[in-house]
Structure 1
Amino acid sequence: MASYTCISCRVAFADGEVQRAHYKTDWHRYNLKRKVANMPPVTAENFQERVLAQRAAAEQQLNDTALTEGCAICNKKFSTANAYQNHLQSHKHQQAEKQALLAAQRKVEKMNEKNLEKGLGDEKADHDTRNEALQQALREQQRPSPAKQAKVQASQGASKPRMEKERPPRMMWLEEQAKRREKEEGATAENGKEGR
């Protein structure tokens, strides 16, 4: 005969220790809250199903927020796919998209004009040739002008071979420091010999 019970959960226990352990469970606490709200208690199995469903919903929500989508044009991020789709259909986004397209077209037109001035653009040339010319022009634009190169070389003391330009700047600095130390150590060694 079970002499220990929990009125909130409507459960009977054979041992007092088991009853005390039951009072510390989440299931008992959940049923206490339901009792305060004048709702009937849930069984242990039903409680476990609810807990698993809630965990699954929480994981789904975390996965949804982890897959945030963003609009590169407007520089905005969205937590749901629906919000992203609504943004794509908005008037503000469509205006920004048109502006970005116009800016890109203007940039290409300017590059084409520069290429025509440089003699790179021939109207009869095929698209591959034109693309190669554009890429070459971009590479030339990224390189410093000969006047700038001369100024840089003059400020560094002497012209450096092309191999050094391709090495990382940190490595070049480290080698310069090593050379300076060698010179300083060599100078102090010579001074020490002269002093004797």
Structure 2
Amino acid sequence: MTQFTNEDRKRLRRELIEAGHDYFTRFGFDRTRVSDVTSEVGIGTSTFYQFFDSKEALYLTVLLSERERLFETLESAMVAAETPREEAEMILRTTLGEVRTNPLIRRLFVGGEIRRLESQLDGATYEGDLTSEQFESPTTFKRVLQQPDEWVEHDEVWIDDPDVVRGLMRSVLFVTQARNTPIIPDDSYEAIEEALIETIVAGLFTTEENTDRSTTHD
């Protein structure tokens, strides 16, 4: 077994994750081989298993990294929102845009990749003992989507359960599956997505206009 220094191990693990990210994005899980990833990094296939138990373990790590990046993107986007309606619109536009343009995010939140992996991971844990079940749980959205709790608390939305509001916003992501299909031809998808965002935001809130949060909560 090849011995590495701690620095080498950190570097190689990072490079394996980066290479895995590239291959999983371009080819998906099934068409990516461990040998593809290790060749990119310049190590033997057997050495891969000093860092990850399986290809599934690497894939889960890559998906977790993408989820964290999405959450950071959402947190940054929320800074520009001044009213609850703007927050909701920003959340929908950001997540829909990510699902449309990022294959890994699409497979994570729409394609059900974690459910497929769960049976193969056999209860293994990764990155701070986070199980595959916890990784996929809708409560993971609560970390950054805290706004629905405030909307409900201040009677800004007609739904009285913030988890239902979060579920509604997450379920909208599935509309992207209909893009470029007989249901929604590609040339009309953009207008339909825009109308969907506007309809949800207009219907979700109890008033036509919402004042700036800082003013409302003073």
> Could you state the TM-score of these two structures normalised by the residue count of structure 1?
0.25
Larger Rg: 1
Which structure carries more relative contact order (alpha carbon 8 Å, separation 6+)?
2
> Could you state the TM-score of these two structures normalised by the residue count of structure 2?
0.23
